[in-house]
Structure 1
Amino acid sequence: MITHLVLLRGINVSGHNMIKMDALKKALENIGFQNVRTYIQTGNVFIDTEEKNGGSVGFQIKQEIFKIFGHEVPVIVIGKSDLEACFNNNQFLKDKECDTKKLYVAFISKELADGAMNDLKMSQVKPDEAQIDSSRIFIKYAVGAGKTKFDQKYIEKKLSVTATIRNWNTVTKLLEMYDAS
């Protein structure tokens, strides 16, 4: 069995795309996923399956969510090694004074090209900062996530990708849960 972390974008946020976690868990179990576990209400789901391909897992889940709940929800599936790399490669953590409450990670649907940082046009969102690492963007917000133009929609538009953003506390908890499974 392989454990995958499934990140659903835009569910249960501001009353949109409402899905109860118990109903989601049952729906995923009904299509053959095992040991389905969720973390908070915003679309963090661990599943066990024989399927190795994360893209295939994501496609199945996206289809089932649409079929059962009627929501078109972007899905990104990552493995434990991806999440561990997230911790090892976040250069913002080298600053001992860094406020982790202002750190976020945008998980991207594909590996980013070398020129992706230029495509982000960070001068338009200063003083927010970003660093790209493969299929992740590490974000350090100057004020906070609620007061920035540098959000998931901005990233998706500039890079032509699907993205979902998690705060650093959530990323930390998800790795703890991966380690426990």
Structure 2
Amino acid sequence: MKHLALLRGINVSGHNMIKMEALKAALEAIEFTNVITYIQSGNVFVETEEESSFGVGFKIKQEIFKTFGHEVPVIVIGKNDLELCFKNNPFLKQKDVDAKKLYVAFISKELSSSAINELKISQFKPDEAVIDGNRIFIKYDIGAGKTRLDQKYIEKKLNVTATIRNWNTVTKLLEMYEEEL
């Protein structure tokens, strides 16, 4: 079974540095197959007989700590989850939307509909966010680097693990899933 693991916080600003070739070798050593990475920010496809996303994520997290000494949160998502991103992103329905301003925060657990109130989105206007299950669709007005509505804020407010990807990366990851690695 094919899984996509999103690693949070590697190779960012010189922290938790892991070369993708070394990550690939480490994961192959624990019997993942067809390990393919995409860009340096921690997107990795693996194949395994393990069906549980939680089990796959736990195994990857353990191996990263053992091999590289980094405590790295891992969120594993399936092809169906990624396809739902495309179907459910409300910002894609807006006329003339700039895809460069769109992001998705992948969350470690299903969020309740009341979670949007806990985020207090209105204080981030003109940035916008919409919760959809275990992801948050975000449209940044100025840019991801100039907002306080970031992964750290989301994690603190909702008591979850989160990792954010820009829309171009999400699009490419779905293409890679569909290419039958």
Q: Same fold (TM over 0.5)?
A: yes
Q: Which residue identity does 2:77 align to in structure 1? A: I
Structure 1 residue 118 corresponds to structure 2 residue 106:
no
- Counterpart in the other structure of 1:70: 69
Structure 1 position 121, deviation (Å): 0.4
The number of residues matched between the two structures is 180
Structure 1 position 83, deviation (Å): 0.2
- Counterpart in the other structure of 2:39: 40
Q: Which runs of 4+ in 1 moved over 2 A?
A: none
Question: Where does 1:20-39 land on structure 2 (aligned, <5 Å)?
Answer: 20-39=19-38
- Counterpart in the other structure of 1:13: 12
Gaps of 5+ in 2: none
Distance in 1 separating the partners of 2:22 and 2:131:
35
- Counterpart in the other structure of 2:136: 137
Distance in 2 separating the partners of 1:130 and 1:122:
7
Distance in 1 separating the partners of 2:133 and 2:71:
26
Gaps of 5+ in 1: none
Distance in 1 separating the partners of 2:26 and 2:146:
35
Structure 1 position 114, deviation (Å): 1.8
Q: Secondary structure at the match of 1:14?
A: coil
Q: Secondary structure at the match of 2:165?
A: strand
The answer to whether the 8 Å contact 2:113/2:131 transfers is no
Distance in 2 separating the partners of 1:173 and 1:47:
16
Distance in 2 separating the partners of 1:114 and 1:14:
34
Q: Secondary structure at the match of 1:66?
A: helix
TM-score if structure 2 supplies the norm length?
A: 0.99
CA-atom RMSD in angstroms:
0.5
Q: Secondary structure at the match of 2:44?
A: strand
Q: Tell me the alpha carbon deviations over residues 124-181 of structure 1, each in whole angstroms, 9 at most, x when there is no partner.
A: 2111100111000000001000000000001001110000000000000000000002
Q: Secondary structure at the match of 2:105?
A: strand
TM-score if structure 1 supplies the norm length?
A: 0.99
- Counterpart in the other structure of 1:146: 145
Distance in 2 separating the partners of 1:55 and 1:126:
34
Question: Percent identity over the alignment?
Answer: 75
Distance in 2 separating the partners of 1:16 and 1:94:
37
Distance in 2 separating the partners of 1:28 and 1:122:
38
Distance in 2 separating the partners of 1:152 and 1:44:
16
